[in-house]
């Protein structure tokens, strides 16, 4: 029998052609699907009436970022000089496009302010004279990310060039405080242009250093998004001689690259020694000091103390933190720089170095006994380490100096909750929520207090609502020693 007939050969060639055609079609469909699932909202706000002059960088940077993202297969909406209503509409349109598994990216360049340990992005028509105005007119980054997550987005990325000195914070603070850590849902990558609680002056150039370095790195098909941002941080730090150190927080569980169809490989660690990507809030277990005062009569059993913490390792690592080193240098030049002391205390607190944070807040308050922000922060730190009597005194003083100060109400609610004073905690959390109904920590804390007071159904409702707004709130409170 012959084996090389023309018919068999023809069939073989035809079969190979069909298989190749099918693979090609499948590959094209896969590429189309991956591109169709990428959405970005890019905002550049420059013309703030309360600023001395329009910012030069945000509009140019937003346009360049939008162009690069489009080349990378993102469907991009660009907004320039958006009012509050325009930002709200832009976010609504953005949310409407998302579907399960989408990649969702938000870029914002403009002014940002932290309040109640959250970061707020400001529209150009924000009218801010007091801290509550920030929460009224600003857009919470945590809320934006939780809303995106609620739409089913698989990968969530936020890039913020908003750590600028701005005209608003100085109206109710002695200095600009920069941005706060973010508690984000899983599968999120966040980058700030500067370190936590620090600001950089606008250079007055057409493009920012941060965005310039970012655009260089995200072009590489060989880098994951996380590696690209880490390389950006290294580049900015080197170029600024450590004056500007971007901050990164990541909970990505899968590799993702900005260029579509890329197959990134893990990048080698940069030579520049930098602190690891920071977590949103300290969550390590705490223990009360050895000489803690006797516990008052409680409404329910207060959770037992957690195992002892060793802050010496944290302190050793923080000694090399560029932000801490910069603040240390300022304090060598002027040991009574209250702003530097307070900012260093914030960094220490965000990293879980509570003893160091308390010392800096002590020094800040000695310089200015009426510094309500420092009093509130020392109240919160003391509450976390179970120095509850001193914490209550701090919060009471902060509220005497600034009645209805929402941060201090929230902090005092935590103190009362840990003290077993559930009824007092409910009052404090209620008052905080009247001012800011989306203050997740007060909502969750009130739920716990209601449960301990016997109102189980009401407590469950508060807790479930808080967890829907912030899935990590349980872990956050566990870090405070409250379960």
Q: For 185-224, what is each residue's pLDDT tens digit?
A: 889 999 999 988 788 866 667 889 999 999 999 998 889 9
pLDDT at residue number 242: 84
Q: For 346-377, what is each residue's pLDDT tens digit?
A: 778 877 788 898 999 999 999 999 998 899 98
pLDDT at residue number 437: 77
Q: How confident is the model at residue 25 (pLDDT cuts 50, 70, 90)?
A: very low
Rounded to an integer, what is the distance from CA 470 to the centroid of its chain? Answer: 12
Q: For 136-150, what is each residue's pLDDT tens digit?
A: 999 999 999 999 999
pLDDT at position 282 over 60:
no
For residues 191 and 476, the model is more confident at 191
pLDDT at residue number 438: 67
Q: For 101-122, what is each residue's pLDDT tens digit?
A: 999 999 999 999 988 778 999 9
| 126 contacts 163 by C-beta, under 8 angstroms | no
pLDDT at position 271 over 70:
no
pLDDT at residue number 274: 39
- Mention every residue, 6+ apart, whose C-beta is less than 8 A from residue 2: none
Q: For 156-196, what is each residue's pLDDT tens digit?
A: 999 999 998 888 776 666 556 788 888 888 899 999 999 88
Q: pTM surpassing 0.75? A: no
Q: For 73-96, what is each residue's pLDDT tens digit?
A: 999 999 999 999 999 999 999 999
- Mention every residue, 6+ apart, whose C-beta is less than 8 A from residue 376: 394, 395, 398, 405, 407, 408, 411
Q: For 313-328, what is each residue's pLDDT tens digit?
A: 777 777 777 667 878 8
pLDDT at position 225 over 70:
yes
Q: How confident is the model at residue 29 (pLDDT cuts 50, 70, 90)?
A: very low
Q: Roughly what angle, to the nearest 10 degrees, separates helices 406-419 and 440-452?
A: 30
pLDDT at residue number 428: 95
pLDDT at position 234 over 80:
yes
pLDDT at residue number 396: 96
Q: For 445-469, what is each residue's pLDDT tens digit?
A: 999 999 999 999 999 999 998 888 6
pLDDT at residue number 310: 59
pLDDT at position 22 over 90:
no
CB atoms within 10 A of CB 411: 33
Q: For 399-439, what is each residue's pLDDT tens digit?
A: 999 998 888 999 999 999 999 999 999 999 999 899 877 67
Q: Which two tokens stand for residue 286?
A: 């705490």
| 189 contacts 225 by C-beta, under 8 angstroms | yes
Average pLDDT, the chain: 81
Q: How confident is the model at residue 57 (pLDDT cuts 50, 70, 90)?
A: very high
Q: How confident is the model at residue 291 (pLDDT cuts 50, 70, 90)?
A: very low
pLDDT at position 19 over 70:
no
Q: Where are the domains of the chain?
A: 35-250, 311-479
* Fold: same for 35-250 and 311-479: no
pLDDT at residue number 55: 92
pLDDT at residue number 253: 85
At the topology level, CATH places domain 35-250 in: Rossmann fold (3.40.50)
Q: Which CATH code is given to the segment(s) 311-479?
A: 1.25.40.10
User: What is the rounded CA–CA span in Å between residue 336 and residue 51?
Assistant: 29
Would you say the C-alpha torsion 447, 450, 454, 458 has a positive or negative sign? negative
Q: How confident is the model at residue 339 (pLDDT cuts 50, 70, 90)?
A: confident
Any bridge partners for residue 405, and if so which? none
Query: Parallel, antiparallel, or unpaired: how do β-strands 38-44 and 103-109 relate?
Result: parallel
pLDDT at residue number 324: 78
Q: How confident is the model at residue 267 (pLDDT cuts 50, 70, 90)?
A: very low
pLDDT at residue number 375: 94
Q: Roughly what angle, to the nearest 10 degrees, separates helices 372-384 and 406-419?
A: 20
Give Cα separations from 301 to 40, 104, 306, 420, 421 (angstroms): 48, 43, 15, 7, 11
Query: Parallel, antiparallel, or unpaired: how do β-strands 38-44 and 155-161 relate?
Result: unpaired
pLDDT at residue number 14: 52
Sheet with strand 188-192: strands edge to edge = 75-80, 38-44, 103-109, 155-161, 188-192, 247-250
């Amino acid at each position: 029998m012959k084996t090389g007939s023309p018919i068999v050969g023809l069939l073989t060639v035809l079969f190979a052609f069909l298989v190749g055609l099918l693979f090609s079609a499948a590959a094209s469909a896969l590429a189309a699907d991956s591109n169709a699932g990428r959405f970005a909202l890019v905002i550049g706000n420059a013309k703030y009436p309360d600023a001395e002059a329009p910012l030069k960088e945000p509009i140019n940077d937003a346009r360049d970022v939008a162009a690069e993202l489009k080349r990378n297969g993102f469907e991009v909406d660009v907004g320039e000089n958006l009012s509050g209503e325009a930002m709200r509409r832009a976010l609504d349109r953005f949310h409407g496009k998302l579907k399960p598994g989408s990649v969702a990216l938000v870029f914002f360049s403009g002014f940002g302010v932290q309040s109640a340990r959250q970061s707020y992005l400001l529209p150009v028509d924000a009218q801010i004279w007091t801290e509550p105005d920030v929460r009224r007119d600003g857009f919470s980054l945590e809320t934006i990310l939780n809303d995106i997550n609620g739409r089913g987005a698989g990968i969530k990325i936020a890039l913020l060039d908003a750590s600028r000195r701005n005209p608003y914070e100085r109206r109710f603070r002695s200095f600009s405080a920069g941005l706060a850590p973010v508690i984000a849902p899983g599968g999120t990558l966040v980058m700030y242009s500067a370190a936590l609680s620090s600001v950089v002056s606008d250079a007055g150039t057409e493009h920012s250093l941060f965005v310039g370095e970012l655009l260089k790195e995200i072009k590489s098909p060989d880098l994951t998004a996380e590696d690209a941002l880490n390389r950006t941080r290294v580049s900015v730090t080197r170029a600024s001689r450590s004056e500007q150190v971007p901050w990164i927080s990541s909970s990505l569980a899968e590799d993702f690259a900005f260029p579509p169809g890329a197959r990134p490989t893990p990048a080698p660690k940069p030579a520049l020694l930098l602190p690891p990507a920071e977590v949103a809030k300290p969550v390590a277990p705490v223990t009360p000091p050895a000489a803690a005062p006797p516990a008052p009569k409680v409404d329910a059993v207060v959770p037992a103390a957690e195992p002892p913490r060793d802050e010496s390792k944290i302190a050793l690592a923080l000694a090399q933190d560029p932000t801490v080193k910069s603040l240390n240098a300022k304090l060598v030049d002027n040991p009574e720089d209250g702003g530097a002391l307070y900012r260093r205390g914030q960094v220490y607190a965000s990293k879980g170095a509570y003893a160091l944070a308390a010392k800096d807040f002590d020094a800040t308050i000695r310089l200015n006994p009426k510094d309500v922000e420092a009093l509130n922060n020392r109240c919160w730190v003391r509450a976390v380490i179970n120095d509850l009597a001193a914490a209550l005194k701090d919060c009471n003083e902060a509220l005497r100096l600034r009645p209805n100060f929402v941060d201090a109400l929230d902090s005092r609610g935590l103190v009362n909750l840990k003290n077993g004073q559930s009824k007092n905690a409910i009052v404090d959390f209620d008052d905080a929520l009247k001012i800011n109904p989306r203050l997740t920590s007060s909502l969750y804390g009130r739920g716990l207090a209601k449960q301990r007071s016997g109102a189980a159904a009401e407590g469950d409702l508060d807790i479930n609502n808080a967890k829907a707004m912030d899935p990590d709130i349980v872990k956050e409170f566990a870090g405070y020693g409250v379960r």
